[in-house]
Chain A
Amino acid sequence: NAGVTQTPKFQVLKTGQSMTLQCAQDMNHNSMYWYRQDPGMGLRLIYYSASEGTTDKGEVPNGYNVSRLNKREFSLRLESAAPSQTSVYFCASSDNPPQDRSEKLFFGSGTQLSVL
């Protein structure tokens, strides 16, 4: 059981380049998320998707786009990378449990992105 798989694990970009971070989950979860983690800033929500075909902005969506390709996959695209987007990116997924059960987020292993 792979859980949440992110690719790539590391990436270096030059300012202005574009790239797509891929995320897939095999737990049949409805909801998927993209977070970025910066020192002293915690985990900040970029975009999330409640279900296939729907996406919504989180706390810091500027400079990013997302696609919920199907129930398994949720990609994050940087159209024109900037040094301020240097960060660790985490994809996560969760189910919609009954009211009394844990709403646990399952995280991927992260992508370390450097924009020079």
Chain B
Amino acid sequence: GENVEQHPSTLSVQEGDSAVIKCTYSDSASNYFPWYKQELGKRPQLIIDIRSNVGEKKDQRIAVTLNKTAKHFSLHITETQPEDSAVYFCAASRGYGGATNKLIFGTGTLLAVQP
């Protein structure tokens, strides 16, 4: 089955700096890679996702890159703000090709943005 590794487990940056979180996956058939943000005491929420036919996707200050050959993908947050402080999870799946999106998550990165 799929295995997703995520690094680092904690990341502290100064407000305005950039933050990068990296993930690797094991199943070469995986083709869908979302990122979820979980604020303290809240439920996870999707912030951005990418499919295997796309190498990069941006949404304002957030971007995700994918290297299919190396089986790794990364989340980039620019101009970090205190409200970006949260736990971020990467995930991977084969998507709905198998009738359901069996999503496997990484272990999470606690991002702390220091004002």
Q: Which residues of A contact B (CB under 8 A)?
A: 30-31, 33, 35, 40-45, 48-51, 56, 58-59, 90, 94, 96-97, 99-100, 102-105, 107-110
On chain B, the number of residues with a Cβ less than 8 Å from chain A's Cβ atoms is 26
10 A-B residue pairs with CB within 8 Å: A43-B44, A43-B89, A43-B105, A56-B102, A59-B1, A105-B34, A105-B36, A105-B46, A105-B101, A107-B45
Contact A40 B101 (CB under 8 A): no
B74 part of interface (Cβ distance < 8 Å): no
Contact A58 B102 (CB under 8 A): yes
- Minimum C-beta distance from A66 to chain B (A): 14
Q: Is the interface of A mostly helix, strand, loop or mixed?
A: loop
Contact A105 B96 (CB under 8 A): no
Of the candidates A31, A42, A90, A107, which one forms a contact with B107 in the assembled complex, judged by CB atoms under 8 Å apart?
A42
Of the candidates A41, A50, A105, A108, which one forms a contact with B103 in the assembled complex, judged by CB atoms under 8 Å apart?
A105
